[in-house]
Amino acid sequence: MTPERWHQITSVFEAALLRGAGERRAFLDAACGGDEGLRREVEAMLASHEEAPDFMAEPAAAVAAGHGGGDGASLAGQSFAHYQVLARLGSGGMGDVYLARDTRLGRKVALKFLPDYLAGDERRASMFTREARAASALNHPNIVTVYDLGEADGRYFIAMEYVEGETLGQRIHRERDPLPKLLNYLRQAAEGLTKAHAAGVVHRDLKPDNVMVTRDGFAKVLDFGLAKQFVPPGGADGGGGSEAATAVLAPQSLPGMVMGTAGYMSPEQAQGRVREIDHRSDIFSFGCILYEAATGRKAFEGADALDSLHKIVHAPTPQIREAIPHAPADLERIVRRCLQKDPEKRYQSIKDVALELEELQQELQRQPAPPRPAPSELNQTGALTGAATKQAAPPAAPTAEAAARPTSSAEYLVGELKRHKTGVIVVAAALILIAVGGAALLLVLTRRDDAGGAQAADGSPVSFGRMRLTRLTTTGRASDATVSPDGKYVAYLNIETRGGPVQDGGTASVWIRQVATGRDIRIVEPDDFIVRGMTFSPDGNYLYYRARKAGEGEWVLRIPALGGDAQKLIRDPFSPISFSPDGKRIAFVRNHSPAVGDSTVIVANADGTGERIVTTHRGAELFATPARPTAPAWSPDGRVLICALGRPNDTLSLLEVQLEGGAERQIGTQRWSNIDSLAWLPDGSGLMLSARDQSSPQSQVWRVAYPSGEAHRVTNDLNEYHGMSLSGDAQTMAVVQSARDTDLWVMPAGRPASEARAVTSGTGKADGSWGISWTPDGKIVYGSNASGNRDIWLLDTERGTQKQLTSDARQNFYPQVTPDGSSILFLSDRGDEFGIWRMDTDGGNPRQLIAATVLRFTISPDGRWLVYSGTGAKGIPALWRARVDGGERVELNNEYWEEHPAVSPDGKQIAFQYFLLGTRGMSIGQIPIEGGPITRIAEPPFRLGPVLRWTPDGKAIAYIDNRGEAGQIYALPAAGGPPRQLTDFKSDSIFWFDFSRDGKQLALARGTQTSDVVLISNFR
């Protein structure tokens, strides 16, 4: 059947359903004419509708009696897989929901079952699966977590997070929370939607009852049952790895279909313009919720569902000030823009709405908010009635109409079932939706190979339905994690103050999470000495971690797993430790001798005694660097260590080292841009690692076969995965998942942050995080992963147009525009190493300038010189100078580890960061461009960000400090003295910045980076 034919059938069916039984025959005579096939199909659908249980509006009494959802008797007391059903929570159109206990992890979950009468229908099962796919791909603290999708005893089920609390609808209408609190919930919901939209998923059924507010005031979006995949703004259409890859959906609906909940649909939804529905449809629905939160009434209240749909399409946008005369003007503006009929006139990103709400919320908290009128004070148009007083009346008892709302998963989870009347439009929409849950969906997405295994269209393995991901933390500030050998506990570092151990200077604490109960215990109080690298002892009784103190050096410490006194064991490690299979020995890396730069793999007793050198590499190659402190991995038979080996800022390889004799062998031919953790599988068949290969902008989890070295990706999305750790049986993996979301901002230099404006927008992108550089005519060249790869882009700030300049499969970043504006220099690994490349400003004529490994580089103001940090004679990053037009390279200094150079405006001095190899103290210094001794300017109390810039007057060096509640730019006087704050932002971090050529403008990459601990299972 063609889509056009199906559209014709469903359109006639929907129209017939709106007519009484006595009118249908005459209507079908006129609508079908002589098309008997059309009539038979419509009459069959009508007959099916009459016979099917009305699961969109089943009586509460039936549910209470245990017969909701057409499921017969309650499943309470039965077990499915490792879930024990405890009690029914509710029933609805796509399934029954039960409270259950996960016997494996000992936690409560909500189990959503596909009803018996739908389980045999492949189309309905496909829709049920689709909801799980859409939701499971979205890992965010403001989205309800989907744990599992399974089938047992012929029943399909989804296991999801059990949330205790109330719906946003209840917070609005029953609890009547003050507006600032409601705005906080909505801002959190918008952050969750930001994540969904970045993954290419539109919710399509946003309403107050699909937003859950937990008992501790945390909002979570749920019920992605109508979710639709789309291409996110700035994203590629179908290519590359992204979070959408696990939630890719073929178009789930056909033109003319009405989907969603009446009163909250966008105009394009209400009119069935399915192909026009994208993330902006959710923004319209969000505006409806925001209006309702402010006024206590629906934005498009109608006498019935049909009347509501008509108002959404044709009625003027409701004005909040008609209901609340003293409502803030900004609130009126935000709602008005969300509710624009034309999607092009709405906000183009839900992230922008979240930022606006945050500012409005802060403003309202500083002043008394006007009371919201009670529903009885409003007439049908939402205006105040004459009886309204300045004080809000107590909420009236809910009427039958107010209580009759569609059932949602949120209501299941709080155990309060609210039923919608048998509204013909809503029933028709639901039935049509279920009817078109195409069996072809999974055929489009997957195919079966000869062995029966699922494969994606490109032939790669599909892990959905096997691999499961569970989020353990929601602070967004985890920086390291390790799972105990028995899988019962996870230790993690939590950054207590911005800056954190990753940036060498924040405050962090060590926590233990009991996985089964969700209980957290802090075993090391917040301090500024904790650094990355934790390991459980094989018996699980102790936790080993790394720390350092000024004047005391760095140590490996041991502490009882549930808290106690820490004991120093090993001095000056440069990596975390790993244990031998019998638990009696440990292995680690120590980097010695700043003059030589040798790197040594050491084995010692578990108590730190009896150190023995296994192998040493001198000069060019290191086993661990500050950016890659990877512990050696001990093979299950205790005979081999696998280490990461490479030059600073160069690619890495896996090296096998025999403990007896020290013989070495490279594992496979794969080269890695980064490896930050290694662990053997217990059967010795291979290793798991969190790493980034040369073709990916993000670190992912990989499996590497042993001894062949063949590598396969385990995760494949837009998140970063770091610090992977395996349980003893390798059934569970703990890893830190992080995501960066940044936009480009421009502001007048030296002016307040209120004058800053975002010049790019979107979600899930890292615009500017990979470098920013101004052109002489005021355009901005920047690095971004918007294409799914690190590429160079050009932004015309006046016109708002963007152009992608690089599009090859390699990594391209850190652009620098030449002073005359004729060329763009950038780093790329399209050669054998991360060298410097040059291209025209339109992206054409690329050619390599420096083939050697380069860490960072800059161009002198006169355009003559390249100054860069690259591998020096001692095998560590040193400062180099080379002519832009080619010629001999000159090493300026190789005394220290030297990086992030910046040439002064007069072209005479180079500012940079440096430190002694084997130490952690960073300093800022300067050196003449001709070379010579280093003049130390300051030793900052934390490791600086990835970029230094001279201020336009040439008197100070500007740098990023992200340690406070918001990232700021500071200027450190080159002649000495305290730093001066240049910006006054109130939120977000800064990841890169650059001054315009005339010094009047400042461009910044601002946004957020969250890092949380997740558990991954069924990944093998």
Render pLDDT for 925-952 as a digit per residue (tens, 0 to 9).
999 999 988 999 988 877 677 899 999 9
The answer to which of 73-87, 374-388, 771-785, 809-823 has the lowest mean pLDDT is 374-388
CB atoms under 10 Å from CB of 399, counted, come to 9
Strand locations in 474-631 (E): 478-483, 489-495, 508-514, 519-527, 530-536, 542-549, 553-560, 567-571, 578-579, 585-591, 599-605, 612-617
Q: Do residues 353 and 340 touch, judged by C-beta distance below 8 A? A: no
Q: For the chain, how big is the Rg over CA atoms in Å?
A: 30
Q: Do residues 238 and 245 touch, judged by C-beta distance below 8 A? A: no
- Helical axes 36-51 vs 424-435, angle rounded to 10°: 110
Q: Do residues 120 and 135 touch, judged by C-beta distance below 8 A? A: no
Q: What is the DSSP string of 412-475?
A: HHHT--------HHHHHHHHHHHHT--THHHHHHEEE-TTS-EEETTSPBP-TTT-EEEE---S
The answer to which of 419-423, 559-563, 567-571, 953-957 has the lowest mean pLDDT is 419-423
Bond into 861 cis (ω within 30): no
Q: Which residues contact 409 (CB under 8 A, 6 or more apart)?
A: 92, 97, 110, 112, 144, 210, 222, 223, 225
* Residue 125 pLDDT greater than 70, yes or no: no
| DSSP code at position 970 | E
- For 509-550, the pLDDT digits (tens) are 899 999 988 888 999 988 767 777 899 999 999 999 988 766
CB atoms under 10 Å from CB of 614, counted, come to 19
For residues 601-615, give the mean pLDDT.
94
**Which of 648 and 185 is assigned the larger pLDDT?**
185
**Which of 179 and 747 is assigned the larger pLDDT?**
747
pLDDT at 151: 81
Determine if residue 302 is left, alpha or beta; phi over 0 gives left, psi from -120 to 50 gives alpha, anything else beta.
beta
**Which of 431 and 265 is assigned the larger pLDDT?**
265
**Which of 439 and 863 is assigned the larger pLDDT?**
863
Burial status of residue 1014 (CB atoms within 10 A of its CB: 0-12, 13-18, 19 or more)? buried
Q: Give catalytic residue positions.
A: 205
pLDDT at 498: 55
* Residue 217 pLDDT greater than 60, yes or no: yes
Residue type present at position 168: L
CB atoms under 10 Å from CB of 840, counted, come to 13
The answer to which of 250-259, 857-866, 882-891 has the lowest mean pLDDT is 250-259
pLDDT at 138: 72
pTM over 0.75: no
How far apart (Å, rounded) are the C-alpha atoms in residues 223 and 232?
20
How far apart (Å, rounded) are the C-alpha atoms in residues 103 and 110?
13
How far apart (Å, rounded) are the C-alpha atoms in residues 528 and 534?
16
* Residue 431 pLDDT greater than 50, yes or no: no
- For 164-186, the pLDDT digits (tens) are 888 899 999 988 888 889 999 99
The pLDDT confidence band at residue 78, using thresholds 50, 70 and 90, is confident
Angle (CA) 118 123 127, round 5°:
85
3-state SS class at 714: coil
* Residue 402 pLDDT greater than 50, yes or no: no
pLDDT at 477: 85
Q: Do residues 459 and 453 touch, judged by C-beta distance below 8 A? A: no
**Which of 219 and 387 is assigned the larger pLDDT?**
219
Residue for token digits 């699961």?
A: 55
3-state SS class at 219: strand
CB atoms under 10 Å from CB of 48, counted, come to 12
Q: Do residues 573 and 548 touch, judged by C-beta distance below 8 A? A: no
The pLDDT confidence band at residue 121, using thresholds 50, 70 and 90, is low
The pLDDT confidence band at residue 440, using thresholds 50, 70 and 90, is very low
pLDDT at 132: 62
